[in-house]
C-alpha cells in the first residue's frame, strides 16, 4: 500500500500495512480484488452470451405460444397467421438488434436506451428509459424465478406450499453468485444456458430433418383446444394483439447494450459480436419453433406448453431428449434472472453517477461488482415475490410495458442521432458526454429504419398498456412517472449540494477567532473530569454547566468543583421543572444569539462507553438528544469524549 504525504512538517508517520481481513464474507464471495486487476475480471463473448442472452432466449419458451393464444380466439384456422406474424416479429427484432449494435459502438460506456435518450432526447426521456429498464429488471427477476419455480412445483406438487421460500432462496443464490464477480457467475451459469441452447438446437434441427424427410407428423393426443368465446373472424386488431404478444420474444435483446462494461477489450467489438450471435440464435429459434409448431398442429393450452408438444412430436414422449428440453426450459427461465443481475447494477451505477440515484450505487464492492445494486435488486425482487406469493399470473401483466418503452426511446434516440449526423459537415466531430458524433453517409436509411422501429415498438407498448391496464398494468403506468419524479428529486439534492459545497467565489475561509467551550456536567467524577481535561486543550474559554434538578446533588457538584474544577468557570442553571435538556438548550441558544460571526461554540459531553450494549439502557441518552437539538444551528459543534468503563 502506497501512502503519499504532501506539505506540513515531517513527523513520525505510521507505516501503512493495510490488508483486508479474512472474514466470513471472503468465504461467501471470495477474497477482495484490487482495483488495478479490474481488466482481468471481464468476460469474453462465450461467457457474455450466456450471461446476457439468458433473458432473451428464455422468451423463446413462450413467445410462439403467446401468439397462438391470441389467435385461438378466431379458431384453428387463424393459426395460419402464426408464420406471417412471426416473420414480422423477426423483422422488428432485426431492426432493434441492428439499432442496439450501433448503439454499442456509439456508446462504449454502456447504458443502452438510457444513454441514447440522454444524449439525443434529453433528461426526461433518459430518466423515463432508466425507470422503465430498472423496473423491468426487477420484474424480470421476480417473474422468471417465479415461473421457474412454478415449473418445479408442477413436477413436484409437494413443494408448492414452499414456493415463496424456494423462489426467494433462488434469488439469494443468484445474488451471491453475482456478488462473487461477473466472471464467476457467468462461468457457473454458462452451463445451464448452453444446455438449453443445445437442447433447443437439437429439437429444431431434428424437427426440420423430419419435416423435410416427411416423418414429422402431428401432435399425438394434443391438449383440448380452449375454445372460449370464438370469434371465427380474424380482425386487424386481433392480429395486432397477436403480434404484440409475440414481441415478448424481443424482451432481453437490450441486455447487452446496458452491460458493455462487463466485456473484455475491445469491449464494443466483443459486445457487438455477442449481440449479433444472440439475435441470430434468438431469431432462428423463434422462427423455427413457430414454423414447426404450426406444422405439427400444436394447440395453445394451459395444460401443456407448445414447446412440450413440439419436443414430444419430434422425439416421442419417452425419449430422454424430450425430458432434456423440458428441464432446460425450466432452468433457462431461472437463468433469465441472471441477465437482470448483470444489467440492473450497471445501469443503476451509470444513473447514480449522473446523480439520479443514491451515489452508493456507484461503489464497486470487494469483487469489483456493483454490490449495492445487486443487493438492492435481490431485495426488491424478493419483496415482490413475497407480496405476490410467487404467482406468475399476477406479476406478468406488469412486465414488458417497461422494456418496450425503453425500446421506443432508444430507437427514437438513435433516429435523432442519425438526423444530427446527417446535418453535420463531413469531417466535423462533435464530442458528446458518452460518444463522438460524425457525419454518416447512410443517415437517411438508418433514420428510416430506426424511425420505423420506434413507431413499431411504441405501438406494441401502447397495445400492452391498454390490454393489460386493468390486470395490473396500471401499476407500471403509475410507477414509472413516480420513479422519474424520485430520480429528479435525488438529482436536485445532489446538484444543490454541489452548488453549496462549491469553492467558486469562496475566497479565503472565515477565521475562527474564538472557540467557546461548554462542558455540561451531571456530576463531578472521572468521566466529567476526562471531558474537562480534553475541553481545556481546545480553548482557553471553557465553561462547565450544571443543570440543577436536585439541590442536594448541586451542592455536591459545587463543593467538588472547588477542588477538582481547577479554576474553570462553573455555571449552575436552576431547573425548577426538573428538565435537563431544555435549560441547557436555552443557555446555548442565548450564547448563540450573542455569538460573533467568527466565534464557534463547542459543547463537550462526557460519554460512557459501557462494556455491553444493554447497559446503555440504564443511562439517559441526553448527548444524543442534545446533538439532535443542536444539529440545525450553525456555529455549534458537539463533541462526545468517550470514557471507557
Considering only residues 612 to 641 of the shown chain, the ones binding its own copies according to CB under 8 A are: 615, 617-620, 631-632, 634, 636-641
Binding to its own copies (CB under 8 A) within 413-472 occurs at: none
Q: Which three cell numbers stand for residue 502?
A: 462549491
Binding to its own copies (CB under 8 A) within 305-364 occurs at: 358-360, 363-364
Find the binder of its own copies among 27, 237, 320, 506 (CB under 8 A). Answer: 506
Give the residue carrying C-alpha cell 429528479: 488
CB of 51 to its own copies, least distance (A): 23
# of chain residues touching its own copies (CB under 8 A): 111
Q: Would you say 370 or 418 has its CB closer to its own copies?
A: 370
| Residue-level length of the chain | 645
CB of 412 to its own copies, least distance (A): 31
Q: Would you say 198 or 497 has its CB closer to its own copies?
A: 497
Q: Would you say 441 or 633 has its CB closer to its own copies?
A: 633
Binding to its own copies (CB under 8 A) within 35-94 occurs at: 35-36
CB of 396 to its own copies, least distance (A): 31
Binding to its own copies (CB under 8 A) within 567-596 occurs at: 567-579, 582-583, 586-587, 590-591, 593-594
Region of 606 (left: φ > 0; alpha: ψ -120 to 50; beta: rest) is beta
Give the residue carrying C-alpha cell 466531430: 429
Find the binder of its own copies among 208, 474, 488, 608 (CB under 8 A). Answer: 608
Q: Would you say 94 or 543 has its CB closer to its own copies?
A: 543
Go through 47-73 and write b for each residue having 16 or more CB atoms within 10 A of its CB, e for each that does not: bbbbbbbbbbbbbbbbbbbbbbbbbbb
Binding to its own copies (CB under 8 A) within 365-394 occurs at: 365-366
Find the binder of its own copies among 22, 40, 525, 556 (CB under 8 A). Answer: 525
Binding to its own copies (CB under 8 A) within 540-569 occurs at: 541, 543, 549, 558, 560-562, 564-569
Binding to its own copies (CB under 8 A) within 206-265 occurs at: none
Q: Would you say 206 or 639 has its CB closer to its own copies?
A: 639
The number of beta carbons lying within 10 Å of the beta carbon of residue 308 is 19
**Closest of 83, 75, 86, 89 to residue 234, by C-alpha:** 75
CB of 630 to its own copies, least distance (A): 8
Q: For residues 238 and 68, give the distance between their C-alpha atoms in angstroms, rounded to a whole number.
A: 11
Binding to its own copies (CB under 8 A) within 9-38 occurs at: 9, 11-18, 20-21, 32-36
5 counts as binding its own copies under rule CB under 8 A: yes
Tell me how far the alpha carbon of residue 482 is from its chain's centroid.
16
Judge whether 197 and 331 are in contact, CB under 8 Å.
Answer: no
Q: For residues 178 and 172, give the distance between their C-alpha atoms in angstroms, rounded to a whole number.
A: 10
Q: What DSSP state is assigned to residue 21?
A: P
CA-CA distances (angstroms) from residue 40 to 189, 313, 368, 370, 374? 19, 46, 11, 16, 20
Segment interacting with its own copies (CB under 8 A) among 232-240, 242-250, 342-350, 522-530: 522-530
Q: Is 494 exposed, middle or buried (0-12, 13-18, 19+ CB in 10 A)?
A: middle
Amino acid at each position: 500500500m502506497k501512502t503519499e504525504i504532501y506539505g506540513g512538517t515531517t513527523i513520525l508517520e505510521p507505516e501503512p500495512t493495510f490488508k483486508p481481513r479474512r472474514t466470513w464474507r471472503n468465504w461467501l464471495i471470495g477474497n477482495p480484488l484490487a482495483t488495478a486487476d479490474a481488466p482481468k475480471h471481464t468476460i469474453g463473448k462465450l461467457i457474455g452470451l450466456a450471461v446476457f442472452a439468458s433473458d432473451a432466449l428464455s422468451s423463446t419458451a413462450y413467445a410462439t405460444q403467446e401468439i397462438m393464444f391470441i389467435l385461438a380466439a378466431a379458431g384453428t384456422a387463424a393459426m395460419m397467421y402464426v408464420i406471417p406474424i412471426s416473420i414480422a416479429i423477426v423483422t422488428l427484432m432485426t431492426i432493434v438488434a441492428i439499432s442496439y449494435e450501433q448503439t454499442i459502438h456509439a456508446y462504449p460506456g454502456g447504458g443502452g436506451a438510457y444513454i441514447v435518450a440522454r444524449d439525443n432526447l434529453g433528461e426526461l426521456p433518459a430518466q423515463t428509459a432508466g425507470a422503465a429498464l430498472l423496473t423491468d429488471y426487477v420484474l424480470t427477476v421476480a417473474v422468471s424465478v417465479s415461473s421457474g419455480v412454478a415449473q418445479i412445483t408442477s413436477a413436484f406438487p409437494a413443494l408448492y406450499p414452499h414456493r415463496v421460500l424456494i423462489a426467494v432462496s433462488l434469488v439469494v443464490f443468484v445474488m451471491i453468485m453475482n456478488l462473487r464477480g461477473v466472471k464467476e457467475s457467468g462461468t457457473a451459469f454458462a452451463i445451464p444456458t448452453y444446455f438449453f441452447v443445445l437442447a433447443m438446437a437439437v429439437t429444431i434441427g431434428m424437427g426440420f430433418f423430419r419435416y423435410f424427410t416427411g416423418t414429422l407428423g402431428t401432435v399425438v393426443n394434443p391438449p383440448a383446444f380452449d375454445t372460449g368465446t370464438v370469434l371465427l373472424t380474424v380482425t386487424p386488431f386481433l392480429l395486432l394483439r397477436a403480434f404484440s404478444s409475440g414481441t415478448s420474444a424481443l424482451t432481453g435483446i437490450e441486455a447487452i447494450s446496458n452491460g458493455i462494461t462487463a466485456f473484455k477489450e475491445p469491449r464494443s467489438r466483443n459486445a457487438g459480436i455477442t449481440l449479433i450471435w444472440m439475435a441470430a440464435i434468438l431469431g432462428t429459434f423463434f422462427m423455427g419453433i413457430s414454423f414447426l409448431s404450426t406444422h405439427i398442429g400444436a394447440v395453445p393450452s394451459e395444460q401443456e406448453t407448445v414447446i412440450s408438444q413440439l419436443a414430444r412430436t419430434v422425439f416421442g414422449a419417452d425419449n430422454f431428449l424430450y425430458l432434456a428440453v423440458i428441464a432446460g426450459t425450466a432452468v433457462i427461465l431461472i437463468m433469465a434472472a441472471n441477465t437482470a443481475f448483470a444489467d440492473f447494477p450497471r445501469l443503476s451505477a451509470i444513473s447514480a453517477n449522473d446523480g439520479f440515484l443514491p451515489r452508493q450505487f456507484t461503489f464497486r464492492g470487494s469483487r469489483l461488482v456493483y454490490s449495492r445494486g445487486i443487493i438492492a435488486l435481490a431485495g426488491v425482487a424478493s419483496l415482490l415475490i413475497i407480496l405476490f406469493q410467487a404467482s406468475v399470473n399476477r406479476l406478468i401483466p406488469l412486465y414488458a410495458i417497461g422494456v418496450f418503452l425503453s425500446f421506443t426511446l432508444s430507437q427514437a434516440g438513435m433516429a435523432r442521432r442519425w438526423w444530427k449526423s446527417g446535418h453535420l459537415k463531413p469531417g466535423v466531430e462533435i464530442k458528446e458526454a458518452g460518444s463522438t458524433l460524425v457525419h454518416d453517409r447512410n443517415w437517411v436509411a438508418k433514420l428510416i429504419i430506426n424511425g420505423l422501429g420506434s413507431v413499431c415498438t411504441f405501438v406494441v407498448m401502447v397495445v400492452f398498456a391498454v390490454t393489460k391496464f386493468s390486470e395490473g398494468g396500471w401499476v407500471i403506468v403509475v410507477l414509472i412517472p413516480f420513479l422519474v419524479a424520485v430520480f429528479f428529486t435525488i438529482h436536485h439534492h445532489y446538484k444543490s449540494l454541489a452548488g453549496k459545497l462549491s469553492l467558486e467565489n469562496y475566497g479565503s475561509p472565515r477565521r475562527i477567532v474564538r472557540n467557546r467551550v461548554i462542558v455540561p456536567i451531571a456530576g463531578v467524577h472521572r468521566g466529567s473530569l476526562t471531558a474537562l481535561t480534553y475541553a481545556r486543550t481546545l480553548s482557553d474559554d471553557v465553561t462547565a454547566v450544571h443543570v440543577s434538578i436536585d439541590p442536594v446533588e448541586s451542592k455536591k457538584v459545587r463543593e467538588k468543583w472547588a477542588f477538582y474544577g481547577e479554576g474553570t468557570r462553573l455555571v449552575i442553571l436552576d431547573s425548577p421543572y426538573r428538565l435537563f435538556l431544555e435549560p441547557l438548550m436555552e443557555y446555548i441558544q442565548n450564547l448563540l444569539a450573542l455569538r460573533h460571526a467568527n466565534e464557534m461554540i463547542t459543547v463537550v459531553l462526557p460519554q460512557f462507553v459501557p462494556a455491553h450494549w444493554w447497559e446503555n439502557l440504564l443511562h439517559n441518552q441526553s448527548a444524543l438528544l442534545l446533538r439532535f437539538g443542536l444539529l440545525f444551528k450553525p456555529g455549534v459543534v458537539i463533541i462526545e469524549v468517550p470514557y471507557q468503563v
